[in-house]
Structure 1
Amino acid sequence: MMRQYELVERVQKYKPDVNEALLNKAYVYAMQKHGQQKRASGDPYISHPLEVAAILTEMHLDESTIAVALLHDTIEDTTATRAEIDELFGEDIGALVEGLTKIKKLDLVTKKAKQAENLRKLLLAISDDVRVLLVKLADRLHNMRTLDHMSPEKRARISEETMEIYAPLAGRMGMQDMREELENLSFRHINPEAFETVTKRLDELSERNQGLIKKIEDELRELLRAEGLVTAQVKGRQKKPYSVFRKMQSKSLSFEQLSDVWGFRILVDDVPSCYRALGIVHTRWRVVPGRFKDYISTPKQNDYQSIHTTIVGPSRQRIELQIRSRYMHEIAEYGIAAHTLYKDGENKTVDETGRAKPQSNAFSWLRRTIEALAEGDNPEEFLEHTKLELFQDQVFCFTPKGQLIALPRGATPIDFAYAVHTNIGDTCVGAKINGRIMPLVTRLNNGDEVEIIRSGIQVPPAAWEEIVVTGKARAAIRRATRAAIRKQYSGLGHRILERTFERSGKTFSREALKPVLHRLGQKDTEDAIAAVGRGELSSLDVLRAMFPDHQDERVTVKRTNTEGWFNMPSAAGIAFKLPDQAKDGTGPSALPIRGLSGNAEVTFSPSGAVPGDRIVGIMEEGKGITIYPIQSPSLQTFEDEPERWIDMRWDLDEANNTRFMARVAVSALNEPGSLAEIAQAIATSDVNIRSLSMGRVAADFSEMQFDLEVWDLRQLSHLITQLRELPAISGVKRVFS
């Protein structure tokens, strides 16, 4: 266990003016508070915060961060309080310790909605001060190193959480060594058989090629020194088991097919020396085509800079090389922790070129991710967005003006458009890649110049969500789709309300609706109107909310029966005329139908019938007469009972002002706007929708069943023709029951 003086000496090596009093006080306070507490391994609990502090000293962090590491478990696991820590160490350290306490309570491997919300809390906690993240990552690293003492279930859960959240977060912050170690430790517990197999094969390979790495190191070093790069350092290393396993999985390769199990790193003094070293190596050995990347001229978003190349080097081995300056190496090793911006607030140091060291792009990414919290996405969308951002490797593309845009691998011009600006993505209709018009599904490559073609009337199709790979693009497309659907329903709802108010002798206006929104349980006017369009809110409820004294007036139209007519009380007062041979001269008040006298109750079949259909009546006991179109399959039930059939015909006068119900099935594309398009066509044909039911029949199509009110068969046939011409419609048919 590290002693008090050893901790101070560690910090003094890179910060001679260290505040020893702060470190000593934090050490003693943590030791007293944790007292006799033990870890699952049986070690004193204080050993854990001491090891976390030791990890942070390797990153050369300031004494305040080291003190937070010593204190990070005191509030949760001891009698310490935030007020006490504020008093002894200051509010700044107290706030960091409390932030870490809250993070420790988050369960990041649980059901999706809760996991998403907890990830929000994690990112919010680390957004104010990145030192919270650095201490948390060091805390997680030590816990992973000592995970063997946990139960198998807990080991698996913690390892999964580390692999899903903390390892990629460390990578995004530029801390590659920590990411590799976290991934490797997690891999060991998540897939122990694969870990053991890959580790064994790597050990065998290392034993078989003993001395080869040193031979290649020496040859590279001598070559560079002979060409004047005397201070160049060369170091070779074998790749980690998880890195090898991931490559085998992603490339579908066997272990024997891997050609770059070893990697070599060349460290030089400055940027010009990097390119000089590259020229020396490429002049001496052949380059493997397609395996060159320059991350110095185009750094990764986590500030990583290096030149990557693969050569067929000494002993005809394929060798992967990374060439970088020592400053770049510090950034690559420690990432965001290497930025003096976070060490006592200083940011005036310069890099090896004499330029001011930039602020961390990695932390800028974190800030942008936090901004996504304000976009109003649901937790699941935020989780998806963040995980996409964490896990994706990158390609670098350019706007026509030369602006560099970093995107995940597999990104399309649509992703590019949304990365530039949300409005550009929403209005994108095409793209030129390197001057040529290309499909929007084209995958972008490093160095592509992308020009977006826009249209002011464009609305992003919902299908784009399946094409894009960035969380920002997906979230924006979903928002635009929801807004378009809301707009369509709002238009439909406005027309419904206008007609309802007109029938009641009132005038509808948005302004008059605002004061009564609370009565309808709606947030704003557009939400209320859209709810009417969706059928979630009755137009009559809106009318009553705006005019509480309004009374519904129902007008009953009294029809005068003439000879040969009989009443249909349940069919809106419509009269049918029986064939002449069916009358007995007694008039409608006493129609002799199979022994029945008086007015017969007449109803329609469930699918209805309209003037122009050939119809028959079926006499049913207790129901009166039910009218069916001749095409109705239900008539087969009565084939053996001809005595129940009554031949009927339409005999409506020209002044008839009653609509009749017909059922129509419509198969439409399952995309936003289809329903509104159909409803518009129905309204344009002067047809009323009585009811609508929907059911998805395939991934891309929805089946809708409309009960429509029409004047006659001619109008219905015209509507069906109009619907079939709509681009969103795949089929329309009349339904008979």
Structure 2
Amino acid sequence: MVTAYDISHDWEDPEELHGLLQSIREQRHDANVRRIRYAYFLAEQAHKGQTRSSGEPYIIHPLAVARILVDLRMDDDSICAALLHDVLEDCPEVTAEQLLRIFGEDVLHLVEGVTKLKFTHQEMLTDRQRAAAETTRTAETLRKMLLAMAQDFRVMVIKLADRLHNMQTLGALPPEKRTRIASETLDIYAPLAARLGIWQIKWQLEDLSFQALHPHEYAEVRERVSKTRKQREDELQEAILVLKRRFEERGVKIVEIRGRPKHLYSIFNKMVKQGVKFEEIYDLLALRIIVESIPDCYVALGIVHEAYGPIPSLFYDYIARPKPNGYQSLHTKVLGPSSQPLEIQIRTLQMHEIAEHGVAAHWTYKEGKTSIDETKRLSRLREQLFDWSSDSRSSSDFLRSVSTDLFAEQVFVFTPKGDVIDLPKDSTPVDFAFRVHTQLGLTLVGAKINGSIVPLPTKLQNGDVVELITRSNAQPSLDWLEFTKSAHARSRIRAFFRKITKTDDAQRGKEALDKELKSLGLDPRQYLGDKEVQRVADQMDSCEGPADVFARVATGQISVQSVVAKLRGTVVEQPTADTIQLTKTKEGKVALTAGGMENVLVSRGKCCNPIPGDEVVGYVTRGRGIVIHRKVCPNAMAYQSSEPERLIPYSWPPDGNVYTVGLKIVSINRTGLLMDISTVLGESKTNVSALKVKTLQNHTAEIDLTIDVRDTEHLSQLMAKISNFGDIISILRMFGRVAKS
């Protein structure tokens, strides 16, 4: 690794960099200022000639991001990565190998973690397709970033600082882009900052997003707050004087006591969600008291309650029971000097650092190296991120899970051992069980809340102690999906029922392969072993093992004959001179050509609806020409036993025409699923000729579709895309049972 950071002799530190380096020196005497200076030099050279939307030199942005991290007291690697965070994305001349050689593996990992995925717009895409592709890219980028964060939380701290500066300079962008970025910030990044406990960034992101999305409401709230500020500050100053005198009398040393204004978005949110008028919001200012030790916190609480009467049920002890993001403080609400509610927070200086900087406060500096405080709460969040990724079969599923579980309003409950578990608001014991461990959820039969047995749909409240009752032979119920709140629990329940369905499909597929091998005079035991079928699975997309191969055979996604051919180590035989070929007449009727016979009219068997690419046979009827059947069709199998002489072989390659096929989709009954399926069909230009939806009592739905496809490859692609939705339990190709409008 390079240890000397050589910079051109004629290059001078710009004033902005000088201020950054001075702040770092004041914080840490052991900081590698030379290394940080070189990171700035490299970034400036790489971004030379690039400008932001405002017309300013681009280097202003990474410098501002680094300054935010310095305020959060982050380590050298984080600051270097902040200065370099856009070079891999925007500067082709800078390579990952170069960053690794100069700055080391940690800096490279941080830069790669915040680098957006590459995406090239295709000229042929429609506006709708381009928007869908952009959404997919955003979801994939967020997934990549969150998984990188799971390995190193500094990735997200850098990204939040990056987003904060982008929001501070949002005015230079066109209106539609401002709206998109502000919405994304409010929905994703501000809640994520809250979850990581970085309150200093969280409230700024919220207020800036509020200003961009609702400028008129923002201006109105700001004006109202400004008009009443003088009166509130006078009351607050009176309370401060009273409390300071009482603390001195009791000998409690105060590190700091000051007012904390309620942020504008918080006020607006309270007005909208709770229907409270502005005139009825009395806690626009709160009092924060910082003392030296934890015992002093509780002494201070007694003094506050002695001076001002506490409001019952509005006291929270987050010191004894910290929030999952590490937040600790005593919260109480009292009747202040004018008998108006006054919120007071009491904490130590260390608690205040964690409250303001969150996960960033867990970095310590020893001998020039960064060590990460692996607290239990961070480990739990890390596990959640990996769980969400493994649960989700697509980026959209992942984004939906994160939005539901990570960013939703939280409820905090306890295990019997006293561990804090955070869940989305209105969660139930079922959500709690799956959050603690998947096996607990799968075997859950009952629950106790605060010592009393309750129904499983009971909504959990803050502070509840939850005890689970399990039975080894129990299994989930689809009814649980009606009341479970967390995406993680719902995903695990759906996965359980998908596995059951897949097991049944695999058994049917294996039986079909067994029968085909026997008809060819082959011993199934020699061909259907795990090793043999695994080799076939390795040749197919998204097939992990034999069960996937068998299930695809049963659902019609791959043919029995093609799997048998792969098992035998051969390819499907090409048509011979005696093989009959399908053609089309001018009238559009299906015809055969073989051995000198031309334009022999045939028809598709209504019992199995064959399409090009299927393994098929022709059955010579008595006076009705030839009927085409799939080889796996029960009627064709019956003819093979009773009238084999009437069956004729042929191949049916894709011919450019479309043919109707029936599908049965079994899914969880959720809003928007039909629209998602329609989007898949629309984007692949697939016509839907009939549709029937049936809602079942167990909160599932059956969707019977009749669609027009070109061949088996087209059909297989559609089935694979639809099955990627997390709510799909099964998707089957039907044998002639076509939906009717």
Q: Considering the TM-score relative to the shorter chain, is it more than 0.5?
A: yes
2:360 aligned with 1:337, yes or no? yes
Residue 416 of structure 1 is matched in structure 2 by: 432
Cα offset, 1:23, TM superposition? 3.1
2:269 aligned with 1:246, yes or no? yes
Residue 444 of structure 1 is matched in structure 2 by: 460
Q: 1:67 to 1:313 in 2, by over 3 A?
A: same
Q: 1:380 to 1:73 in 2, by over 3 A?
A: closer
Matched residue SS, 2:313: coil
The amino acid of 1:697's aligned partner reads: K
2:59 aligned with 1:53, yes or no? no
Contact 1:392 1:408 in 2 (8 A): yes
Q: 1:179 to 1:200 in 2, by over 3 A?
A: same
Among 207, 226, 239, which residue is 1:203 paired with?
Answer: 226
2:499 aligned with 1:476, yes or no? no
Matched residues in 1 for 2:36 and 2:515: separation? 76
Higher relative contact order (Cα pairs below 8 Å, separated by 6+ residues): 2
Residue 65 of structure 1 is matched in structure 2 by: 78
Residue 126 of structure 2 is matched in structure 1 by: none
Matched residues in 1 for 2:501 and 2:27: separation? 60
Residue 483 of structure 2 is matched in structure 1 by: 467
Q: 1:270 to 1:77 in 2, by over 3 A?
A: same
Residue 583 of structure 2 is matched in structure 1 by: none
Among 525, 530, 536, which residue is 2:551 paired with?
Answer: 530
Contact 1:220 1:234 in 2 (8 A): no
2:709 aligned with 1:696, yes or no? no
Residue 399 of structure 1 is matched in structure 2 by: 415
2:309 aligned with 1:295, yes or no? no
Q: 1:696 to 1:86 in 2, by over 3 A?
A: closer
Residue 7 of structure 1 is matched in structure 2 by: 20
Matched residues in 2 for 1:324 and 1:441: separation? 37
Q: 1:360 to 1:150 in 2, by over 3 A?
A: farther
Residue 654 of structure 1 is matched in structure 2 by: none
Cα offset, 1:275, TM superposition? 1.4
Query: What root-mean-square deviation, in Å, do the aligned CA atoms of Structure 1 and Structure 2 show?
Result: 4.0
Question: If the length of structure 2 is used for normalisation, what is the TM-score?
Answer: 0.68
The runs of 5 or more residues in structure 2 that have no matched partner are 1-13, 121-129, 572-606, 608-622, 625-641, 643-664, 670-689, 705-741
Q: 1:176 to 1:494 in 2, by over 3 A?
A: same
Matched residues in 2 for 1:506 and 1:68: separation? 62
Matched residues in 1 for 2:134 and 2:448: separation? 42
Residue 233 of structure 1 is matched in structure 2 by: 256
Residue 93 of structure 1 is matched in structure 2 by: 107
Matched residues in 2 for 1:499 and 1:80: separation? 60
The amino acid of 1:116's aligned partner reads: A
The amino acid of 2:94's aligned partner reads: T
Q: 1:524 to 1:509 in 2, by over 3 A?
A: farther
Matched residues in 2 for 1:503 and 1:272: separation? 83
Among 10, 34, 38, which residue is 1:25 paired with?
Answer: 38
Matched residues in 2 for 1:295 and 1:71: separation? 38
Residue 266 of structure 1 is matched in structure 2 by: 289
Matched residues in 2 for 1:376 and 1:326: separation? 41
Residues 355-434 of structure 1 aligned to structure 2 (within 5 Å): 359=375, 361-362=377-378, 364-366=380-382, 368-375=384-391, 377-434=393-450
Contact 2:443 2:472 in 1 (8 A): yes
2:469 aligned with 1:453, yes or no? yes
Cα offset, 1:702, TM superposition? 6.0
Q: 1:193 to 1:334 in 2, by over 3 A?
A: same
Contact 1:399 1:451 in 2 (8 A): yes
Q: 1:342 to 1:453 in 2, by over 3 A?
A: farther
Residue 571 of structure 1 is matched in structure 2 by: none
Matched residues in 2 for 1:109 and 1:14: separation? 46
Matched residues in 2 for 1:479 and 1:234: separation? 53
Contact 1:417 1:424 in 2 (8 A): yes
Matched residues in 1 for 2:282 and 2:240: separation? 18
Matched residues in 1 for 2:565 and 2:529: separation? 11
The amino acid of 2:439's aligned partner reads: N
Matched residues in 2 for 1:670 and 1:57: separation? 50
Q: 1:544 to 1:434 in 2, by over 3 A?
A: same
Deviations 1:690-724 (A, max 9, x none): xxx9942347576899xxxxxxxxxxxxxxxxxxx
Cα offset, 1:540, TM superposition? 7.6
Q: How many residues align?
A: 569
Matched residues in 2 for 1:49 and 1:670: separation? 47
The amino acid of 1:427's aligned partner reads: T
Q: 1:416 to 1:88 in 2, by over 3 A?
A: closer
Cα offset, 1:400, TM superposition? 3.4
Residues 695-734 of structure 1 aligned to structure 2 (within 5 Å): 695-698=692-695, 700=697
Matched residues in 1 for 2:291 and 2:349: separation? 6
Contact 1:413 1:444 in 2 (8 A): yes
Matched residue SS, 1:265: strand
Matched residues in 2 for 1:293 and 1:374: separation? 36
| Identity %, equivalent residues | 37
Q: 1:40 to 1:396 in 2, by over 3 A?
A: closer
The amino acid of 2:432's aligned partner reads: F
Deviations 1:51-91 (A, max 9, x none): 22221221122333323323333444457513444454445
Q: 1:225 to 1:457 in 2, by over 3 A?
A: same
Residues 618-657 of structure 1 aligned to structure 2 (within 5 Å): none
Cα offset, 1:244, TM superposition? 1.2
Matched residues in 1 for 2:518 and 2:47: separation? 76
Matched residue SS, 1:148: helix
Residue 328 of structure 1 is matched in structure 2 by: 351
Contact 1:108 1:161 in 2 (8 A): no
The amino acid of 2:155's aligned partner reads: V
The runs of 5 or more residues in structure 1 that have no matched partner are 349-356, 550-605, 607-621, 624-656, 658-667, 673-692, 706-737
